[in-house]
Chains A and B, each alone.
Chain A
Amino acid sequence: MKRLLASLAMIFAATAATAEEVTTFTLDNGMEVVVIEDHRAPVVVHMLWYKVGSADEPVGASGVAHFLEHLLFKATDVLESGEFSATVAANGGSDNAFTSYDYTAYFQRIAADRLELMMQMESNRMNNLQMTPEDIVTERNVVLEERNQRTENSPNALAREQFTAALYQNHRYGVPIIGWKHEMEQLELEDTQAFYDLYYAPNNAVLVVAGDVEPAEVLALAEQYYGVIPAEDQLPERIRPQEPPQRAERRITYVDPRVSQPFLVRNYLAPERDPGAQEEAAALVYLAELLGGSSFTSDLGQALQFDTQTAIYTNASYGGSSLDKTTFSFAVVPADGITLSDAEAAMDQVIADFMEAAIDPARMESIRTQLRASQVYALDDVSGIARRYGAALTQSLTVEDVQAWPDVLQAVTPEDIKAVAAKVFDRNQSVTGWVVPSQEEAM
Chain B
Amino acid sequence: MLRLALSLCLTIIASTARAEIDIKEVTSPGGINAWVVEEPSIPFIALEIRFRGSASLDLPGKRGATNLMTGLLEEGSGEMSAQEFQTAREGLAASYGFRAFDDTLSISAQFLTENKAEALALLRQALVEPRFDQDALDRVRAQVLSGVASDAKNPNDIASAAFDAAAFGDHPYGSSIDGTVESVSVLTREDMFDAYRNALTRDRVFVSVVGDITAEAVGGMLDDLLGALPAEGPPLPDDVAFGLEGGITVIDYETPQSVALFGHAGLKRDDPDFFAAFVMNQVLGAGGFESRLMTEVREKRGLTYGIRSFLVPKFHAEMVFGSVASSNATIAEAIEVTRAEWARMADEGLTQEELDTAKTYLTGEYPLRFDGNAEIAKIMVGMQMIELPPQYVVNRNDYIDAVTLDDVNRVAAELLQPDDLHFVVVGKPEGLESTQ
Contact = CB atoms under 8 A, between A and B. Distances in A.
Interface of A: 17-18, 40-43, 73, 81-82, 85-86, 89-96, 109-114, 137-146, 148-149, 152-153, 257-261, 294, 296-297, 302, 305-306, 309, 312-313, 333, 335-336, 365-366, 369-370, 372-374, 376-377, 379-382
B16 interface: yes
**Interface size grouping (class) on chain B:** 35 or more
A142 B16 contact: no
Nearest 7 interchain pairs by C-beta = A92-B364, A141-B302, A373-B93, A296-B86, A111-B17, A111-B16, A148-B257
B384 interface: no
Contacts of A380: 42, 44, 46, 372-374
B314 interface: no
A141 B333 CA distance: 14
A43 B42 contact: no
Contact of B290 (A86, A109, A306): A86
Interface of B: 14-19, 39, 41-44, 46, 82-83, 85-87, 90-93, 95, 110, 112, 138-139, 142-143, 145-146, 149-150, 152-153, 155, 254-257, 259, 287-290, 295, 298-306, 325-327, 357, 360-368, 370-374
24 contacts: A42-B17, A43-B17, A82-B290, A89-B290, A91-B16, A92-B17, A92-B361, A92-B366, A95-B288, A113-B16, A138-B300, A141-B301, A142-B304, A145-B305, A145-B326, A146-B305, A153-B155, A312-B139, A333-B146, A366-B91, A370-B93, A372-B93, A380-B42, A382-B371
A306 B301 CA distance: 52
Nearest to B289: A85
A198 to B, nearest CB: 26
Contact of A296 (B83, B256, B361): B83
Contact of A89 (B295, B361, B371): B361
B93 A369 contact: yes
A259 B153 CA distance: 7
Given A82-B290, A89-B357, A149 B93 contact: no
Contacts of A95: 288
B254 A336 contact: no
Contacts of A73: 289
B368 A93 contact: yes
Contacts of A85: 288-290
A152 B256 contact: yes
A149 B325 contact: yes
A113 B150 CA distance: 47
Nearest to B362: A92
B289 A141 contact: no
A258 B153 contact: yes
A111 B305 contact: no
Contacts of B370: 41
B91 A312 contact: no
A369 B287 CA distance: 41
A113 B257 CA distance: 43
A152 B44 contact: no
Most A CB contacts (10 A, CB to CB) among B152, B288, B305, B365 go to B305
Given A96-B288, A309-B139, 20 more contacts: A17-B43, A41-B372, A42-B19, A82-B289, A82-B295, A85-B290, A92-B361, A111-B14, A111-B367, A113-B16, A114-B16, A138-B299, A145-B257, A145-B304, A145-B305, A149-B325, A302-B83, A306-B83, A312-B143, A380-B374
B142 A260 contact: no
B16 A145 contact: no
A356 B90 CA distance: 25
Contact of A261 (B87, B91, B146, B357): B146
Contacts of B17: 42-43, 92, 111-113
B87 A296 contact: yes
B92 to A, nearest CB: 8
Contacts of A142: 298, 302, 304-305
A144 B256 CA distance: 11
A42 B83 contact: no
B93 A92 contact: no
Contacts of B299: 81-82, 138
A148 B16 contact: no
Contact of B44 (A82, A261, A377): A377
A145 B303 contact: yes
B256 A153 contact: yes
Contact of B91 (A41, A86, A145, A369): A369
A95 B365 CA distance: 12
Contacts of B365: 92-94
Most A CB contacts (10 A, CB to CB) among B83, B85, B300, B374 go to B83
A149 B14 contact: no
B281 to A, nearest CB: 15
Nearest to A83: B290
Contact of B150 (A146, A261, A381): A261
B296 to A, nearest CB: 12
Given A92-B17, A145-B302, A380-B373, A258 B152 contact: no
A18 B366 CA distance: 28
Given A137-B302, A148-B256, A258-B255, A376 B290 contact: no
Most A CB contacts (10 A, CB to CB) among B39, B153, B363 go to B153
Contacts of B368: 41-43, 92-93, 109-111
Nearest to A336: B142
B143 A313 contact: yes
Contacts of B367: 41-42, 111
B149 A260 contact: yes
Contacts of A294: 86, 90
Nearest to B135: A306
Given A82-B289, A335-B142, A377-B110, A140 B302 contact: yes
